Structure 1
């Protein structure tokens, strides 16, 4: 369970919407074309694909570059799919039964987490318009119950003045998404994927032996991952390329601390210094990244340190990887 609607979205019709229509019948609430109202109020109209910009035409005004021909073919295929989706949407917009089927299919193939959340939020108004407080309250409770039943990491708030019902991600939900996005981001590069797998393996190894040695291995493996990730940041790549092209060559940024200084991603110097300080701990503490300085060790590392430092390092990852999108981490 990821704590998100994606993964359980196929159950939304059976768990949320269909019981509400049974509630309508049982309470003899008079409604007409409610599925149509939900479709028109809450579901997005299919968006056409964006036409490509071509690089070159020949003397006859025709495309000739392979990449342009491929882009046109891809666009034409996407346009055909869009036209089919649009026709289905238009048909559903004229019939209550077809609207129900369209909503069902949309949930089954939902394009994103954000799309599901928006539909659930916007669906409150059709229920409120159809049955006033009695029906809208039943809808609110149904969504809230669904979230609690499947341990989804969201809070639901009732509508206030001029606002619709809102579904907010919780702090555990944000952290879970950030960690998942870190995994997805790492998978795009073979070297990063290997380091991510090594880090996760050290976490699994703790199951059998939660010793200081293995906890140090976990911290070191996560630092290896983040250091490699930062080394691929465009700002660091550009800085190091500039140093190599100088005559004489300049000094490249190739340690975590040096790269933090050159990354240009921090909102304040204190945030940058905090990241460097954690790196300093890992380098100075005996047995994590190096032999370290035994005199600096105040006590042996334990589970407190593993949990706290892992959370801190994961929290730094959106600074270090440009492929992680904070907006999508918040809600997508």
Structure 2
């Protein structure tokens, strides 16, 4: 799952906007309408306060006021040029198509802006066209999400919602980003990824045990950085983080840690008598998903609202 729309935003142009323009009901000025929907109008700069210090010839003498006037003049000239360009683009100019294609990356610079742009295009189409073109746009965006395995579910009339696979993918991605802030964390996460990749070659019990062991090591490494944590084992970290809404959740993680410590060959020699069967791939999938699923309790480096949300317009 690629997850983020911004990662494939450059593909929106050919896969959505160009295809939309070929619909029989698309107006000639479609790209001007799209430009107005996506590109924000330039904002008039704030005029500086009225100057207070002049010489006998009526010229400004205060350095700060002189600098403020000069900066305002430059900003005003830039605004006038941008406004002229914007008005041309939204008035049906034949160059609007090229301008929009060139300027999209400059204006859509975050996930929330990309999502907002898609929603604004839908709103614009509802204002200027019939249901056939609006429905075509919905289908194109829906197909785009499926094609690139994005973390959203599109619902009518036009609203994007996070999916469970998308939430998990974003959480793991954010864990990896958090790991990059610390050399030990980065190394620990890299070792887990290497162990996971090794299973492609051969899915042996030993490799499965190594993968679970490396993931436990990573959770211990990131958990040790949580506030008020002094322990260095997953069990001790669970007791100290103070993030659990219920004791049973804490005991669940400690139980998985106990499994990793007691099952022969994962973290220690373990207790052979407690082994019910040989470890297999179903255990890898279940344990790895569950352990990462508990990671928001073990670190303050994840923003759970951000992991779920599609984001506010920035």
Q: Establish whether TM, by shorter chain, passes 0.5.
A: yes
Counterpart CA distance in 1 for 2:77 and 2:165 is 39
Shift of 1:329: 2.1
List aligned pairs for 1:118-137, cutoff 5 A.
118-137=116-135
Counterpart CA distance in 2 for 1:224 and 1:127 is 52
Change beyond 3 A, Cα 1:167–1:107: farther
Greater shift in the superposed pair: 184-193 or 12-21: 12-21
Shift of 1:179: 1.4
Which residue number in structure 2 is paired with residue 298 of structure 1? Answer: 276
**1:6 matched to 2:2:** no
The secondary structure found in structure 1 opposite 2:245 is: coil
List aligned pairs for 1:243-262, cutoff 5 A.
253-262=231-240
**Match of residue 269, structure 1, among 244, 247, 256:** 247
List aligned pairs for 1:117-196, cutoff 5 A.
117-159=115-157, 165-196=158-189
Change beyond 3 A, Cα 1:32–1:92: farther
Which residue number in structure 1 is paired with residue 204 of structure 2? Answer: 211
- Largest Rg, 1 or 2: 2
Change beyond 3 A, Cα 1:309–1:38: same
Shift of 1:153: 3.5
Shift of 1:91: 4.5
**Which ranges in structure 1 are unaligned for 5 or more consecutive residues?**
48-81, 160-164, 241-252
Describe the superposition over 1:221-261 as per-residue Cα deviations: whole angstroms up to 9, x where unpaired: 0000000100011232xxx4xxxxxxxxxxxx332112111
Which residue number in structure 1 is paired with residue 69 of structure 2? Answer: none
**1:309 matched to 2:302:** no
Higher relative contact order (CA 8 A, sep 6+): 2
Q: Matched residue pairs, number?
A: 276
Whether the 8 Å contact between 1:34 and 1:130 is mirrored in structure 2 is no
Change beyond 3 A, Cα 1:94–1:44: closer
Counterpart CA distance in 2 for 1:142 and 1:105 is 21
Counterpart CA distance in 1 for 2:290 and 2:77 is 47
Describe the superposition over 1:126-175 as per-residue Cα deviations: whole angstroms up to 9, x where unpaired: 1011113122111111111222333334221112xxxxx11223222222
Which residue number in structure 2 is paired with residue 21 of structure 1? Answer: 21
Counterpart CA distance in 2 for 1:166 and 1:115 is 14
State the Cα RMSD in Å: 2.9
Counterpart CA distance in 2 for 1:84 and 1:303 is 65
Shift of 1:327: 2.7
TM-score when normalising by structure 2: 0.78
